[in-house]
């Protein structure tokens, strides 16, 4: 166990989750990386971290994380998320429910289950999205990511001053998911970002690390938009 | 969860309390009912508590309220060209009469994708 305590990152098999883990490890945290994808074990091994392969929509998955988390949780980053995009008129209700269950309810379940394990001064960082403000084809995703904002605001008040709870709201981030988009579609989306480029995992990981750090000790219940200005652009 | 007010569909999701298993069904039902009404050309108003939007009550009720707001904003974006009218009314001060007046206004208003907060209790706070 390190003096900085344990940092848990969900959705850690992906590029963004892995980069967040690296930043938190650099801050001295002992890492516990969680993902449904067994590839998280390789990511953890490369980072000198522990891994849990778990489905957080299931009680057994949450129990597996609790069993590995220990009693000195300093940071929880709820980064796991999926998309099932479609216009509302075409959206399958099952896809709506699945996205809400994975992105929102699973994160809430883990966050609440860990309540007795947080150390004084711990930080929860929820990965919301610029799409929480509304985004074409993402009624389910918008609901889930906006829901995380409200959940965090409430916990920030309920758990203060022992635990801080904040959210990061990225826009497009350079991950395998965005790399798979048709180039012309991606170019149109980037054109709407004042920063003129897609975000990098480092852009977001740095914000997460800041919100998790003592330097953000007076910040709770907030959302930080790390979206290159997309949230204010036409 | 719903009640009719003239030709407008009014969705009033109840409290989910501490029941995690109730969140997804509540959001999914709201989505399905709103979509059905909008496709039929009816406006939709979703009623939430203003305090829940700022997390001043139950964490799960806050998640439900802000989740509905995010959903409504997306529906407003998607339905802009089709004339969909879907909004959120945040109940604060003013009681049921203020809610009814606002819903009646929305039934004939071109507003869409908006949050209308009743009363001033949350002025000076973050904008949900």
Two structure tokens written together for A90: 């075409």
**Residue B37 half-sphere exposure, CB side, CA atoms within 13 Å?**
27
Two structure tokens written together for A77: 């980053």
**Strand A163-170 vs strand A118-127: parallel, antiparallel, or unpaired?**
parallel
SS3 B5: strand
From B27, B66, B78, residue closest to A88, measured CB to CB: B78
> Across residues B20-25, what is the average pLDDT?
98
Which residue of B29, B33, B63 to mutate against A (max A Cβ within 10 Å)? B63
Integer Cα distance of A107 and A149 in angstroms: 12
Q: Is the separation of the CB atoms in A105 and B20 below 8 Å?
A: yes
Taking the CA atoms of A143, A14, A68 and A118 in sequence, report the sign of the dihedral they define. Answer: negative
**ipTM for the whole complex:** 0.96
Q: Which pLDDT band, with edges at 50, 70 and 90, does A233 fall under?
A: very high
Q: How many CB pairs below 8 Å do chains A and B form together?
A: 139
Going from the C-alpha of A97 to that of each of A62, A156, B14, B29, B63, the distances in angstroms are 19, 26, 18, 9, 14
> Within an 8 Å CB–CB cutoff, is residue A82 touching chain B?
no
**Residue A56 half-sphere exposure, CB side, CA atoms within 13 Å?**
34
* pLDDT tens sequence across A166-206: 999 999 999 877 888 889 989 999 999 999 999 999 999 99
Q: Is the separation of the CB atoms in A114 and A34 below 8 Å?
A: no
User: pLDDT value at position B3?
Assistant: 47
User: Which chain B residue has the Cα nearest residue A111?
Assistant: B59
CA distance A128 to chain B (A): 11
Q: What is the phi/psi pair of residue B35, to 5°?
A: -60, -45
CA distance A74 to chain B (A): 21
Integer Cα distance of A162 and A115 in angstroms: 10
CA distance A86 to chain B (A): 10
- Helices B59-78 and A139-159, packing angle to 10 deg: 150
Integer Cα distance of A104 and A144 in angstroms: 5
Give residues with Cβ within 8 angstroms of A147, minimum separation 6: A100, A104, B23, B27, B63, B64, B66, B67, B70
* pLDDT tens sequence across B26-45: 999 999 999 999 999 999 99
CA distance B125 to chain A (A): 11
* pLDDT tens sequence across A99-116: 999 999 999 999 999 999
Which residue of B15, B56, B71 to mutate against A (max A Cβ within 10 Å)? B71
> Within an 8 Å CB–CB cutoff, is residue B14 touching chain A?
no
Global model pTM greater than 0.80:
yes
- The rounded radius of gyration (Å) of the Cα atoms in chain A is 17
Does the annotation mark A141 as catalytic? yes
Which residue of A83, A154, A166, A192 to mutate against B (max B Cβ within 10 Å)? A154
Q: Is the pLDDT of residue A78 over 90?
A: yes
> Within an 8 Å CB–CB cutoff, is residue B111 touching chain A?
no
């Amino acid at each position: 166990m390190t003096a900085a305590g344990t940092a848990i990152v969900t959705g850690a098999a992906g590029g963004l989750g892995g980069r967040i883990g690296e930043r938190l490890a650099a801050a001295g945290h002992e890492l516990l990386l969680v993902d449904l994808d067994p590839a998280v074990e390789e990511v953890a091994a490369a980072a000198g971290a522990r891994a849990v392969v778990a489905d957080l929509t299931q009680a057994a998955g949450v129990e597996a994380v609790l069993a590995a988390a220990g009693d000195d949780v300093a940071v929880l980053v709820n980064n796991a998320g999926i998309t099932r995009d479609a216009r509302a008129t075409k959206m399958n209700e099952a896809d709506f429910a699945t996205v809400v269950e994975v992105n929102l309810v699973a994160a809430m379940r883990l966050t609440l289950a860990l309540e007795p394990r947080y150390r004084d001064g711990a930080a929860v960082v929820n990965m919301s999205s610029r799409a929480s403000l509304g985004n074409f084809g993402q009624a389910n995703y918008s609901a889930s990511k906006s829901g995380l904002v409200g959940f965090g605001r409430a916990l920030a008040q309920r758990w203060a001053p022992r635990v801080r709870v904040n959210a990061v709201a990225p826009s497009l981030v350079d991950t395998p998911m965005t790399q798979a988009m048709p180039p012309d579609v991606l170019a149109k989306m980037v054109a709407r970002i004042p920063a003129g480029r897609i975000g990098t995992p480092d852009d977001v990981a740095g914000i997460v690390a800041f919100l998790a750090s003592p330097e953000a000790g007076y910040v709770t219940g907030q959302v930080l938009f790390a979206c290159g200005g997309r949230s204010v652009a036409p | 969860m719903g009640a009719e007010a003239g030709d407008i569909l009014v969705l009033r999701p109840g409290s989910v309390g501490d029941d995690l298993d109730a969140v997804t069904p509540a959001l999914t039902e709201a989505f399905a009912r709103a979509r059905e009404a909008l496709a039929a050309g009816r406006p939709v108003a979703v009623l939430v508590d203003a305090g829940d939007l700022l997390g001043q009550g139950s964490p799960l009720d806050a998640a439900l309220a802000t989740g509905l707001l995010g959903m409504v904003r997306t529906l407003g974006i998607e339905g802009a060209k089709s004339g969909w009218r879907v909004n959120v009314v945040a109940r604060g001060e003013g009681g049921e009469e203020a809610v009814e007046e606002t819903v009646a206004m929305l039934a004939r208003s071109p507003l869409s994708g908006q949050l209308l907060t009743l009363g001033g209790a949350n002025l000076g706070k973050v904008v949900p």
